[in-house]
Structure 1
Amino acid sequence: MSESKQGIMDRFQGFMEEKILPFATKLGNQRHMAAIRDGMSILIPLTIIGGLAMILAIPPVPAGLENTNFFNGLLLGWQSWAATYNATLMIPYYLTIGIISIYVVAGVSYRLAKSYEMDGINNMIAALLVFLCIAGFPDGATIQAGQLGAGAMFTGLLIAIIVVEINRFFIKKNICIKMPAAVPPNVAAPFNVLLPLGFNVILFLFLNMLSTDLTGGGLTMLIYKLFQPLISASGSLPSILLINFLMTTFWFFGIHGANMVSVVVSPITTMGLALNADAYANNLPLPQIFSGAVNGVFGNWITYTAMLIVMLLMCKSAQMKSVSRVALIPTLFNINEPMIFGIPTVLNVFTYMPLLICSMLNFSVAYLLMDANIIGRFFVTLPFTVPGPLQAFLATMDWKTIIVWFALLVVDCFIVFPFLKTYDKQLLAKEAQEEA
């Protein structure tokens, strides 16, 4: 690498280490943001179960399909079976993605309480009660489950955080019903949380009534409208490309990029997934592009596969060949750590540049095709180890996503090749020098 290019990289590295990385690390470790990140992680198995149940209940059978061959007959048989048992098959969806905000409240409040070394269960139950009072709109003995879906997620996040903070304030100020010393701790514990629980319920009921009087809608609707511009902005192509730039750059410096950006991204993509799943279940157009694992499937998962192909077929150094053999199976299942630490990609401009270029290109193409409704949008979450092209199909139930995935893989191979070949020549020269 020339001295001028080396100087540019040194200045870039210095800027990132001095300005960006400390802020990103502080953001990732911030107590409330970490609680959101860790609390949202409990939703992954729930959304997988709910999404798979919905696929079974609503098979992707085109209208007017005729039983002219074995495959069509299989699809029509699946459709008939799903129609017969639809009510039962949809139960897991309704109780997972359909009321996803309940799980958001539970996970975030529990994680935040534990970070303060407070009782996780009591705080979780308190937050759930407050949330149901506001978002569930109890009507006698009936709770409207439709009010507990994706649209209430941001309300759930705020209630989970505020309820725990109010409980913590009461504990710090020792504001509680004091029981005699002879009362066993397990009997006294419920009374210790009674005052903050009552305060939280009254406070949020009052805010909900005030919001209804002033805006004509409850607190849930008000918060959703306030966050709507954020949802739209964060789901735009420039915003996602910025996220990909940061994520790839964090990996360049040896920091887990996905973990760093998940603090901000997870609530957005999870909400997008739930909104899309609800639209799919009701046979409506899917509204969100930035949803589920779309950024991974149509991002660097493709690029790492392209790098593996180039290393296997074109590279000659012992290091690249040995890494490619070890990484072959893991990479096919989206486990990229063998390549990340084997090549390595940390502080390696020959991998940073193609990863950055390809991540921008891959997602831009996928985004524009989804925006034009040429390929489907993600409405199902799958285990991250499901291979990329299969996951693209199952998450969208659109076979065209497989073609796009492999087309991008071919393009990525051409982009990756000159960078890896140059790096391979350096490794060959180094290995020859060491043998001499």
Structure 2
Amino acid sequence: MNSTQNGFMAKFQALLEKYVVPVATKISQQKHLAAVRDGLTVLVPVTIIGGFAILLAQPPVSASMQPTNILFQFLCTWRDWAAANIGVLLTPYNLTIGAIAVYVTLGVAYQLCKTYKMDPISNLISTLLVFLCVSGVPQGFVSGEATVNAIPLTNLGASGMFTAILVAISVVEINHFFVKKNIVIKMPASVPPNVAAPFHLLIPAVVNVVLFIGLNMLSSQLFGADIPGLIYALFQPLISATGSLPSILLINVLMTTFWFFGVHGANMVGVVTGPLTLVGLTANATAYAAGKDLPYIFAGAVNSVYGGWISYFAVVVVILLFCKSSQARSIAKIASVPAFFNINEPLIFGLPTVLNPFTLITFLICNNLNFTIVYFLMESNFLGKFFVSMPFTVPGPLQAWLSSMDPKSILVWAALLVLDVIIALPFIKAYDKQLLATENVEEMSAE
């Protein structure tokens, strides 16, 4: 880069480091937002189990398919077996994704307890109790000739997630306040800690239960909806707004910019996007199980699968096929296998892409163009939306297919990879030329 470019980049870097990065860092490290982010992260195994359960119970096979060949015979056998055992097969789904808010409550409460160094078990039990008091109120159902009480899943699924987050934070904060002010039941020193701990939080637990039951009754009287219904109605516009194309493109720009400075972009914006993509994923899974149209595009890992995971791999492909710099090629060879499994840190810090304007421009163009194309393909129902969560190391094309059960997603992923290679080629070649010049100077100096 010439001196003018160096001067611009230095000013741009100083500007972001002064005004943007500190604010984003504070947001990502804010204890409640961090508890939400980390609390949702531990739910990944739960969503994976639920996702595979719904795939088994609802195979992507039409009712009209006939066993005319070996593949169709397998699919038709799967379809008939699933129909005969759908009650059993949907049990893991109903108790994971169908009741995801329960796990959100526990995950967020646990992470916030760790921050305050409070006893986790007692806090988790009291938090779950309070959440069930407002979202899991038992109702009477007729079963045969008897009436039984059962907890409906209505407010325990995606629609109850925001209630779960707010209840978890509120209950732990109230517990922490009582403990800090020493408004607790103290047991004699001779009582073992595991016996004394539950009594230690008994007073705040009673306060929380009475408070939230009262608020639930008040909400029903004033607004005609309980707390979960009211909170979901308030957050619904936010979900819709954040799932719009301009919002997602802005998120991509922010993530790419943070990575440019070596700051983990996903962690920075994940405190905001994590709950929204999980809500979208669970709502889509619920719709899929009911045989309805999937409502959300911004769901699960869709932004990563069709965004950065393609563009990073495209840079590796460009370097291996078209570049001559020994530095770039050696890093690309090392990074190629991890990048195929969506692990991009070797490329980020080895090439590096940090403070590299050539890769910054590449990623800004590719990530946003990729998702714009995918957004319109999904909006037109040409491409299936995500409703299954996969481990993040599942390769991109396979993850795109398994997350949506749409085989066209593999072709779209491959086409976007080719497009990204074409876009990245001139920028990475320019960077390669710069690296070659540096390597030639070093070789001459060594001689």
Scaled by the length of structure 1, the TM-score of the pair is 0.97
- Deviation of 1:62 after TM superposition, in Å, equals 2.5
> 1:52 — aligned with what?
52
> 1:34 — aligned with what?
34
Find 2:246's aligned residue among 238, 241, 254: 238
SS in 2 for 1:159: helix
Find 1:165's aligned residue among 158, 173, 186: 173
1:286 aligns with 2:269: no
Find 2:182's aligned residue among 162, 174, 179: 174
> CA 1:434–1:91 in structure 2 vs 1: closer, same or farther (change >3 Å)?
same
Which consecutive unaligned segments of at least 5 residues does structure 2 have?
Answer: 141-148
> 1:321 — aligned with what?
329
Distance in 2 (CA, whole Å) between partners of 1:333 and 1:12 is 33
1:92 aligns with 2:100: no
Distance in 1 (CA, whole Å) between partners of 2:8 and 2:66 is 62
Find 1:216's aligned residue among 219, 224, 242: 224
Per-residue displacement from partner, 1:97-134 (whole Å, max 9, x unpaired)?
01000000001011101100111111111110000010
SS in 2 for 1:90: helix
> 1:9 — aligned with what?
9
Which consecutive unaligned segments of at least 5 residues does structure 1 have?
Answer: none
Q: Which moved more, 1:131-140 or 1:239-248?
A: 131-140
> 2:342 — aligned with what?
334
Distance in 2 (CA, whole Å) between partners of 1:170 and 1:419 is 58
- Deviation of 1:143 after TM superposition, in Å, equals 1.1
> 2:109 — aligned with what?
109
Kindly report structure 1 stretches of 4+ aligned residues shifted beyond 4 Å.
Answer: 180-184
> CA 1:89–1:435 in structure 2 vs 1: closer, same or farther (change >3 Å)?
same
> CA 1:398–1:182 in structure 2 vs 1: closer, same or farther (change >3 Å)?
closer
Q: Which moved more, 1:72-81 or 1:292-301?
A: 72-81
- Deviation of 1:184 after TM superposition, in Å, equals 4.3
- Deviation of 1:147 after TM superposition, in Å, equals 2.2
Report the AA paired with residue 45 of structure 1: P
> 1:403 — aligned with what?
411
- Deviation of 1:137 after TM superposition, in Å, equals 1.7
What fraction of aligned residue pairs are identical, expressed as a percent? 58
- Deviation of 1:181 after TM superposition, in Å, equals 4.9
SS in 1 for 2:65: coil
SS in 1 for 2:355: coil
Q: Is the 2:122–2:197 Cα contact (8 Å) retained in structure 1?
A: no
Distance in 1 (CA, whole Å) between partners of 2:343 and 2:32 is 29
Distance in 2 (CA, whole Å) between partners of 1:313 and 1:386 is 24
Per-residue displacement from partner, 1:22-58 (whole Å, max 9, x unpaired)?
0011111111011111111111011011101111111
Distance in 1 (CA, whole Å) between partners of 2:430 and 2:382 is 37
> 1:71 — aligned with what?
71
Find 2:378's aligned residue among 370, 373, 379: 370
> CA 1:182–1:7 in structure 2 vs 1: closer, same or farther (change >3 Å)?
closer
1:228 aligns with 2:249: no
Distance in 2 (CA, whole Å) between partners of 1:326 and 1:58 is 40
> 1:270 — aligned with what?
278
SS in 2 for 1:335: coil
Distance in 2 (CA, whole Å) between partners of 1:427 and 1:8 is 20
- Deviation of 1:396 after TM superposition, in Å, equals 0.4
> 2:265 — aligned with what?
257
> CA 1:8–1:89 in structure 2 vs 1: closer, same or farther (change >3 Å)?
same
SS in 1 for 2:155: helix
Scaled by the length of structure 2, the TM-score of the pair is 0.95
> CA 1:192–1:429 in structure 2 vs 1: closer, same or farther (change >3 Å)?
same
Per-residue displacement from partner, 1:288-317 (whole Å, max 9, x unpaired)?
110000011010111111111111110011
> 1:124 — aligned with what?
124
1:248 aligns with 2:261: no
Per-residue displacement from partner, 1:307-355 (whole Å, max 9, x unpaired)?
1111111001111111121112111111111111111001011111101
Find 1:189's aligned residue among 192, 197, 206: 197
SS in 2 for 1:370: helix
> CA 1:382–1:185 in structure 2 vs 1: closer, same or farther (change >3 Å)?
closer
Report the AA paired with residue 77 of structure 1: T
> 2:152 — aligned with what?
144
Report the AA paired with residue 44 of structure 2: I
SS in 1 for 2:342: coil
Tell me how large the CA RMSD over aligned residues is: 1.3
Distance in 1 (CA, whole Å) between partners of 2:125 and 2:80 is 42
1:385 aligns with 2:393: yes
Distance in 1 (CA, whole Å) between partners of 2:71 and 2:195 is 63
> 1:19 — aligned with what?
19
- Deviation of 1:356 after TM superposition, in Å, equals 1.1
1:352 aligns with 2:360: yes
Find 2:309's aligned residue among 301, 313, 318: 301
Report the AA paired with residue 65 of structure 1: M
Report the AA paired with residue 102 of structure 2: I
1:135 aligns with 2:135: yes
Distance in 2 (CA, whole Å) between partners of 1:54 and 1:184 is 45
Report the AA paired with residue 36 of structure 2: I
SS in 1 for 2:213: helix
Q: Is the 2:219–2:227 Cα contact (8 Å) retained in structure 1?
A: yes
- Deviation of 1:68 after TM superposition, in Å, equals 2.2
> 1:83 — aligned with what?
83
Distance in 1 (CA, whole Å) between partners of 2:282 and 2:210 is 30
- Deviation of 1:182 after TM superposition, in Å, equals 4.9
